[in-house]
Structures are given as C-alpha cells and as structure tokens.
C-alpha cells in the first residue's frame, strides 16, 4: 500500500491580482532576494570596466554645477534670492540627477528585461522599481559634494533638515510614478526610447534648477507648482540650506506626486496583462 504522505505535493496557484490592490507589498517581500540581485546587478553594470568607478557619481554633477554657475550665475546673472549660485544649483542638481537617471532607466526596464518576462513568474513591478533603489547609491555618493559645498560656505544645519527623509521619499515616489507610466508605455510604443532625451531636457527647464521659483509671475505660480519637480527641488533647498519652506510651491507638487504614483500603478497593472503578448 502506498503511503499518501510520500506522494503528497505542494501546489502553488498563481491568481490574477485584485484590481484595487495596486502594489502587493507582501509579494514584493517574498521576492526581496530577486530585487536585491537586480539592484546589485544594475550597480555593477553601471561602473563595470571604468577607470574612475563610483567617482563618476560626483564628477558628473560637479561638471554641471560648474557650467551652470558660470553660464547662469556669472554671465546671465539669474536671480537666486540672495543664495550663492554654487549653493543654489548644487542642492537642485543632485536630486535632479537622481530623478533623471531613474526616469531614463525605468522607462526601458521592461524592454531590457524582456527575456525574463516570459520565462518565470515574479512581480513585474520589480522592473521599474529596481532603478529607484539602484540609483540611491549614486545619490548618496553625490550628497558628499553637497556637504562639501555647505562646509565651504559655512552653512550650519537647521531643524529643516529633519524633513530630509520625507523629501527623499517624495523624490523616490515621483521617480517611481514616472517610471511606471513610461515603462508600461514603452512596451507598446518604442517611441518612448527616442523621446526620453527630449523629455529629460524639457523637464529640467520646467523645474527651478537654474532659476528661482519666485521669479515666476504670481498669476502662474499655482499652475507652475503643480509640477512635482518644483516641490521636490524647493523642499531640498529648504532642508539643506535652512531657508524658509515655500509651501505654496511644495504642497501642490506633493499632491501631484501622489496622483502620479497612484495613476502610474493603475496604468501599469492594466497593461501588465498584455506585457508578454506585446513584447
């Protein structure tokens, strides 16, 4: 007689996700090893066979800061509300560099990982979320540059710095929201890859990176502040420089970030059903 316990098997059933559940945190937790592997792979691939290695994380924004300071600070003499232009640009370029890199990488994450899509099941959200985590390494290294500039200008940290983790989370959420939208769109429309360089350049000049948000005419400030980049940049400036929080620019941007993240998750979940078929 056969012992039924010997032949017993564990059957796993993969069911479609509920439409109202945008992000399954428990499922992502179960695949944390895969997330760690993909994040570590992105970090290693980025600086593989380079001479300067992680120094690029400081060199690239440093060159931008120097160019912006010379062109916009010394030649164009753009108003910075009394803040030295090196300080003004540094605290904006570092978070912008993170967001632009994440948006570019996330937009092509599904296309570049298409070989994995039809081979084994795992949460597809891992693809656009991987750059969000991997680029934090560059961001952390680049922060050394900001602290060095703050030290040169003898800027003493204030209580504003306590909100730094909050604006870091907002920055990651905004990047993730855009990444969800663009990665899902890139599966069907390969034009996204060609449009990304133009989109990144356009977004840079719609945010107060090279100019002050206060230079925007009063009549247009509310509509301008709906750009989530505005609230993030202004939030980082207030955190690191100790200047007053410009909540009229920050709060609308935070609301836009929340809407962007939720709508991105909804669109991504709707498109996820056809990822394998379309790719």
**Each residue's pLDDT tens digit in the chain (279 positions)?**
555 555 455 555 555 555 545 666 677 777 778 778 888 887 777 766 666 667 777 888 888 888 988 988 888 888 888 888 989 999 999 999 999 999 988 888 777 766 776 666 767 788 888 899 989 988 998 898 898 989 998 888 889 999 999 999 999 999 999 999 988 888 777 778 888 888 888 888 888 988 888 888 888 999 999 999 999 999 999 999 988 998 999 999 999 999 999 999 888 888 777 665 556
End-to-end, the C-alpha distance of the chain in Å comes to 50
* Alpha-helical regions (H) of 118-227: 126-152, 164-188, 191-205, 221-225
Residue 7: inside a domain = no
Q: Measure Cα distances from 264 to 42, 43, 271 in Å.
A: 23, 25, 11
Tokens of 182: 């663009």
CA distance linking residue 179 with residue 45, whole number of Å = 20
Residue 266: inside a domain = yes
Residue 228: inside a domain = yes
Helix (H), strand (E) counts: the chain: 13, 0
Residue 40: inside a domain = yes
Nearest to 98 by CA among 170, 21, 191: 170
Residue 12: inside a domain = no
Tokens of 120: 């084994």
Residues whose CB is less than 8 angstroms from the CB of residue 50 and which lie 6 or more positions away in sequence, other chains included: 56
Domain count within the chain = 1
Q: Name the residue range of residue 166's domain.
A: 25-278
Half-sphere exposure of 87 (CA within 13 A, CB side): 19
With b for 16 or more beta-carbon neighbours within 10 A and e for fewer, the 208-219 pattern comes to: bbbbbbeebeee
Q: CA 238, 56, 102, 97: dihedral to nearest 10 degrees?
A: 30
Residue 42: inside a domain = yes
CA distance linking residue 226 with residue 248, whole number of Å = 10
Tokens of 177: 């929201």
Residue 1: inside a domain = no
Residue 17: inside a domain = no
Contact call for residues 53 and 141 (beta carbons, < 8 A): no
- Give the model's pLDDT for residue 7: 47
């Amino acid at each position: 007689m056969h012992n039924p316990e010997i032949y017993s098997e564990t059957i796993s059933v993969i069911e479609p996700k509920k439409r109202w559940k945008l992000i399954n945190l428990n499922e992502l937790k179960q695949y944390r090893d895969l997330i760690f592997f993909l994040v570590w792979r992105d970090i290693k691939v980025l600086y593989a066979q380079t001479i300067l290695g992680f120094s690029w994380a400081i060199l690239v924004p440093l060159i931008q800061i120097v160019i912006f300071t010379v062109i916009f600070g010394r030649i164009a003499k753009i108003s910075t509300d009394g803040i030295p232009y090196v300080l003004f640009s540094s605290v904006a370029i570092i978070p912008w560099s993170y967001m632009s890199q994440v948006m570019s990488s996330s937009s092509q994450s599904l296309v570049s990982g298409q070989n994995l899509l039809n081979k084994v099941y795992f949460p597809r959200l891992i693809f656009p979320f991987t750059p969000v985590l991997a680029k934090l390494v560059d961001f952390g290294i680049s922060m050394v540059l900001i602290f060095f500039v703050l030290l040169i200008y003898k800027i003493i940290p204030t209580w504003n710095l306590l909100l730094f983790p909050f604006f870091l989370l907002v920055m990651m959420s905004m990047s993730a929201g855009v990444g969800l939208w663009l990665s899902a769109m890139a599966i069907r429309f390969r034009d996204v890859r060609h449009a990304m360089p133009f989109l990144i350049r356009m977004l840079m000049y719609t945010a107060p990176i090279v100019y002050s948000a206060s230079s925007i005419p009063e009549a247009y400030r509310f509509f301008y502040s709906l750009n989530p980049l505005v609230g993030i940049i202004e939030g980082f400036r207030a955190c690191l420089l100790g200047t007053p929080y410009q909540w009229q620019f920050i709060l609308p941007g935070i609301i836009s970030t929340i809407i962007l993240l939720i709508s991105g998750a909804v669109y991504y979940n709707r498109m996820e059903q056809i990822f394998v078929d379309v790719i």
